[in-house]
Structure 1
Amino acid sequence: MNISRRAICAAALLAAASPLSFHALAKPSAPKIRVGVLRFGTVNWELDTIKHNRFDAANGIDVEIVYFAGEDATNVAMLAGDLDMIVSDWLWVSRQRSQGADLTLAPYSTAVGAIMVKQDAPIRGIPDLVGKKIGVTGGSLDKSWLLIQGLARRDHKIDLTTKSDIVFGAPPLLSEKAMSGELDAVLNFWHFCARLEAKGFRRLIGADDAARALGASGPVSALGYVFHEKWANETPDVALNFLRSSGEAKELLAKSDAEWRRLAPIVRAEGRELEVLRDRYREGIPNRPLAEEEKDAAKLYEVLAELGGEKLVGEARQMAPGTFWALKT
């Protein structure tokens, strides 16, 4: 039977267009990691760096950024299994583990809040805060506030909650009140402190200073990438490849001023303010062995459990084992 060349070509085209052929030629898709973040949170700076520079693709994964309006929403989504990762603190992770959850974390940033005052303010130490109006963000159980209270009580026998006028509020509002002079001092999150620094404020005392004075041997990551231990142990390559991508983004942000200029619209800063935010971010990049961070976090946990009580940590008086993730081998 004679078969024309045209018929042979047509048959070849049909075979090439078949679903089976496409499936055979297609590359397997990279594992997707859904990371939940606040839309305007500082974590976006690192995640945008990962995506823009394709650090995730280079490490064989696909990071998908999922935006949320508030921290509580990200926590709920994480616990429900709708996300692979969020950024939160080790106190929350430990509390969840003590209640039966398998959450764990890898260090993300050691940057913490500080009490800021105007450059010419006659406030030079904790005793000078007595009788002053202090704005505090994060509420009465904020870790930074508790640590500074603990230091004031131990070293100066001062209860700042009764000896000063404490005003709680949202970070941007408290920064505005500090700049207008309505507050004598303000304890704010690290990036708000950096913005105030760029506007002529100085750091009186930071939560990291208090942490070291209360027993930490070095900087402790206030926040970490939080994920389910079962997921990480079952897919260790995926988890480690994400952490490698994060590390590569941090390395770029630590060295490249040009990358910070690219990020300026996301950071929503320019000039001196962008430079201070850049420098403070770089100072917060974790660089200690995990075992050292974990040991110091356990010390601080006991201090915070004493200061914040059950409302802060629940019934557990010690940090839950496994709060910091170590790959099971």
Structure 2
Amino acid sequence: MMVSRRETLRLAALGTAAILASHPVAASAASKVRIGVLRFGTVSWELDTLKEHKFDATNGIDLEVVYFAGEDATNVAILAGAIDMIVTDWLWVSRQRSDGGDLTLAPYSTAVGAIMVKEASLIRTIADLKGKKIGVAGGALDKSWLLIQALARRDHGLDLPATSDVVFAAPPLISEKAIQGELDAVLNFWHFCARLEANGFRRLIGAEDAEKALGASGPVSALGYVFHDKWANENPDAVRGFLKASAQAKDLLARSDEEWLRLAPIVRAEGKELAKLRDRYREGIPRRPVAEEAADAGRLYRVLAVIGGEKLVGSTPEMAPGTFWQEPPK
């Protein structure tokens, strides 16, 4: 959900006093990193691995994970200074920078959603979605939905919102309705798609396919670890230490099936479903230089700005400089 800077700061004034009171922030504690995440989000899988194997201590940081009920709450908390880091997308970061903020992003995952259909479905291409009932998670301004719309218009002259019956709902409900056969196709977040794949569905087209077709030269992180430039400049060892710990956790999850079995209760999956989530997570590990990702994100931003308009990006037609964090030389 997109939250304007003005609205976010209003919420901060009303709602963050309790956060600050219950979690006092130590001043410039270079070894301390406080990250706000959703309790049941996929980021918690990586952070649990990081803490379980003490990768934070190995890299000279003390990571504290603070759980929130929703994305808006994490956005409010970081703008209010209640935490050091969150996970969110580069569109929001760019908009904050365009409005005068100093948030920046280090890539976390390139995993993105896909349009899913049942294995036996006669839908084989985007063009076949014309006249069909499509469930979409994330709302009308979801990046994946906008990119797939842009591709449908360019390659097939197809305006999906105008020619299809589009239903927006929460990700779990979208998946449930798909399984029940009430929707012809669904666009959901990557981990919901992976669960559907394990239960009789196939990918029609992934958002990563749309990204490449629309100008990206490789995978672009949909989400990143987001923090303030000022905090990073004051705590360079903390930033480097956290990113090294994150990379070590990713490396373990990339090569150890046993680690995924340990995580199974947290992932809330087993058997084929756990294996599919594992495989899709591994595919989403960023492996390109940050500069390349930033350049491709800039290209995609221009596509999104055209189709999403000011409701998505505000009045800025270009991604704000500094949206992707570049580690300064030591």
What's the TM-score, normalizing by structure 1? Answer: 0.91
Matched to 1:327, the amino acid is: E
Matched, 1:184 2:214: no
CA distance in 1, matches of 2:303, 2:137: 20
More divergent stretch after superposition (230-239 vs 53-62): 230-239
The structure that has the greater radius of gyration is: 1
- Give 5+ residue unaligned stretches, structure 2: 1-28
1:131 alignment counterpart: 131
CA distance in 1, matches of 2:229, 2:51: 25
SS state at 1:128 partner: helix
1:109 alignment counterpart: 109
The runs of 4+ residues in structure 1 deviating greater than 3 Å are none
Give 1:234 shift. 1.8
Matched to 1:319, the amino acid is: M
CA distance in 2, matches of 1:327, 1:310: 31
The change in CA–CA distance for 1:307 and 1:204 in structure 2 (over 3 A counts) is same
The within-5 A match list for 1:154-233 is 154-233=154-233
Conserved? CA contact 1:102–1:229, under 8 Å:
yes
Give 1:328 shift. 3.1
CA distance in 1, matches of 2:107, 2:34: 18
Conserved? CA contact 1:233–1:327, under 8 Å:
no
- CA deviations on 1:155-187 (whole Å, 9 max, x unpaired) are 000000011000000000010000000000000
Conserved? CA contact 1:119–1:202, under 8 Å:
yes
Give 1:63 shift. 0.7
2:240 alignment counterpart: 240
2:92 alignment counterpart: 92
Give 1:194 shift. 0.1
Conserved? CA contact 1:138–1:169, under 8 Å:
yes
CA distance in 1, matches of 2:187, 2:61: 38
CA distance in 2, matches of 1:31, 1:126: 49
CA distance in 2, matches of 1:148, 1:233: 38
Give 1:94 shift. 0.3
2:147 alignment counterpart: 147
1:305 alignment counterpart: 305
Give 1:269 shift. 0.2
- CA deviations on 1:47-75 (whole Å, 9 max, x unpaired) are 00010000000111011000000000000
The RMSD of aligned alpha carbons is 0.9
Give 1:30 shift. 7.5
What's the TM-score, normalizing by structure 2? Answer: 0.90
1:42 alignment counterpart: 42
Percent of pairs with identical residues: 75
Matched to 1:36, the amino acid is: G
Conserved? CA contact 2:87–2:223, under 8 Å:
yes
SS state at 1:294 partner: helix
Matched to 1:291, the amino acid is: A
- CA deviations on 1:58-111 (whole Å, 9 max, x unpaired) are 111011000000000000001011111000000000000000110001000000
More divergent stretch after superposition (187-196 vs 231-240): 231-240
Matched to 2:91, the amino acid is: L
The within-5 A match list for 1:249-264 is 249-264=249-264
CA distance in 2, matches of 1:84, 1:247: 19
CA distance in 1, matches of 2:327, 2:205: 36
2:83 alignment counterpart: 83
Conserved? CA contact 2:31–2:237, under 8 Å:
no
- CA deviations on 1:246-274 (whole Å, 9 max, x unpaired) are 00000000000000000000000000000
Give 1:327 shift. 2.5
1:282 alignment counterpart: 282
SS state at 2:309 partner: helix
CA distance in 2, matches of 1:147, 1:78: 28
Matched, 1:328 2:316: no
Matched to 2:69, the amino acid is: A
1:65 alignment counterpart: 65
CA distance in 2, matches of 1:199, 1:141: 28
Conserved? CA contact 2:30–2:235, under 8 Å:
no
Conserved? CA contact 1:116–1:204, under 8 Å:
yes
- CA deviations on 1:188-209 (whole Å, 9 max, x unpaired) are 0000000000001000001110
CA distance in 1, matches of 2:269, 2:91: 31
- When the two structures are aligned, how many residues end up with a matched partner? 301
SS state at 1:66 partner: strand
Conserved? CA contact 2:30–2:237, under 8 Å:
no
- CA deviations on 1:276-308 (whole Å, 9 max, x unpaired) are 000000000000011110100000000000010
Matched, 1:316 2:281: no
